[in-house]
Amino acid sequence: MDLNQGLNVSEAIVLLTSMLEEGAFAYILKGATALYVYGVEGVTLETIECDFQWDALDEVHRLFQSYGASTIEKSEDGAVFSVQLNGQPVCLSCQWNHVVRLDPNRLEIPFQGTTVFVQAVSAVIKGRGSEDPVLKAGKTYLADLQEHNTKLSREAWNYGTYEAWVKRFGDPENQGLTIAAHPRNKLSTVAQYLGEVQGKTVLNLMGSNGIKAVALAKLGAEAIVVDLSDESARYARELAEATGVSLHYVVADVLQLQGDPTWTEKADIILMERGILHYFVDLTPLMEVVFSYLKPGGRFVLQDFHPISTKLIHSKGKKHKVDGNYFDQAIHKTPVATSKYMNDQAPQYVNQRRWSMGEIVTSVAGAGFYIEKLEESPNEKKDDQGIPKLFTLVAVKQAN
């Protein structure tokens, strides 16, 4: 039965989840059902799928007896039974020893005037074959969400950003003099991972204000920046002129580069650094772009803030609190990084997804890279001793 042809699918889901909530039974809507709840178009449901807490099996089964619950079928992995709610088939299952309430893939979202717990989209599509319609629908949903996020980011990063960079780093003329005098200093801790850049093409994806790229150009690289902010491009171009170097700045969404490149030569080095990965709701398309724009034998250097310090530990002065969820897969609305430099202007917000180290490394390896090293750096403040601040991943596109 195609549930999308029925009128009571949403009502059945609300009835199902409300009954479980009233009984205090932890649950999670999964698979195509989760996508349906997210509002993903083109999802076909043959049955409503729901996992519940395994040690409440008998109680949950009794809860649905009056709705014609089938006999419980048990296996080595768990148990399952079926029921009809509002004329809609429902499959209720549990996995032995799986604590549903602590499942990192379990997210609470609004649905039909209430809130329900569903499987994260990344978990829904994980491990599915390339022709699986659930995988295709989930990927389309993430792509649409990323496009929306890119639109928000473009608007946010083109609102007072030039003035914010001037306030943070000084006017381009003075900053240019500083770079010209000590270019390597501007590369900070990422310098040691880049190697010799003289005569190399270095592509700085999401290169923002261009400070790193201009420093690379001063060291003899052919520097290219891709970023979606016109205001950052303005600052970077003025900075390059003040430093006396050539800079190719492409104002574009990095995920659209494969369809519309503005240069023909692939890069020897691709650099992404500090506060960029969280703008992507799916890392796979990003890493595919990185891989495609790197020469065989080329190096990908990724340096970003360590997930421990962005997802798990919150610090304020000498006080540190472990109150985050390292495995959180939710998308959060947060102010753009330049907000604190925007004087009295209202902060601009974007949607962000914080990634775990395992997710980051897997996405790079999955794109076809050979991972050469992964180094974690401690925070240099005395009060933050022992807490990681940055990580640097170096990957190579092996020659055929």
List domains and CATH numbers for the chain: 3-119 (3.30.460.40), 152-396 (3.40.50.150)
Handedness of CA 180, 182, 186, 189 (dihedral sign): positive
Handedness of CA 102, 106, 110, 111 (dihedral sign): negative
- Beta strands 201-205; 48-52: pairing state: unpaired
Position 380 scores a pLDDT of 72
The encoded tokens of residue 330 equal 């939710």
pLDDT in tens, 18-72: 999 999 999 999 999 999 999 998 788 889 999 999 999 999 999 999 999 999 9
pLDDT in tens, 191-227: 999 999 999 999 999 999 999 999 999 999 999 999 9
Chain mean position to CA 130: 21
The encoded tokens of residue 129 equal 């074959």
- In angstroms, the CA 120 to CA 38 distance is 10
pTM score, two decimals?
Answer: 0.87
How many CB atoms are closer than 10 A to CB 23?
Answer: 14
3-state secondary structure (DSSP) of residue 326: coil
End-to-end CA gap in the chain: 49
Q: Where are the alpha helices (DSSP H) in the chain?
A: 9-22, 31-38, 57-63, 121-125, 133-156, 161-169, 172-181, 191-194, 211-218, 230-243, 283-292, 307, 357-366
Instruction: Flag residues of the chain having pLDDT under 70.
Output: 1-7, 258-264, 336-348
- Beta strands 267-273; 294-305: pairing state: parallel
29 contacts 17 by C-beta, under 8 angstroms: yes
70 contacts 83 by C-beta, under 8 angstroms: yes
The encoded tokens of residue 245 equal 């170097």
- Beta strands 319-322; 313-316: pairing state: antiparallel
Position 315 scores a pLDDT of 78
Q: Which residues does residue 376 pair with via DSSP β-bridges, in sequence order?
A: 391
- In angstroms, the CA 258 to CA 250 distance is 13
Burial call 233-267: b when 16+ CB within 10 Å, e when fewer = bbbbbbbbebbebebbbbbebbbebeeeeeeeebb
Position 133 scores a pLDDT of 92
- In angstroms, the CA 22 to CA 18 distance is 6
Position 313 scores a pLDDT of 87
Position 260 scores a pLDDT of 62
3-state secondary structure (DSSP) of residue 37: helix
The alpha carbons of the chain give a radius of gyration, in whole angstroms, of 25
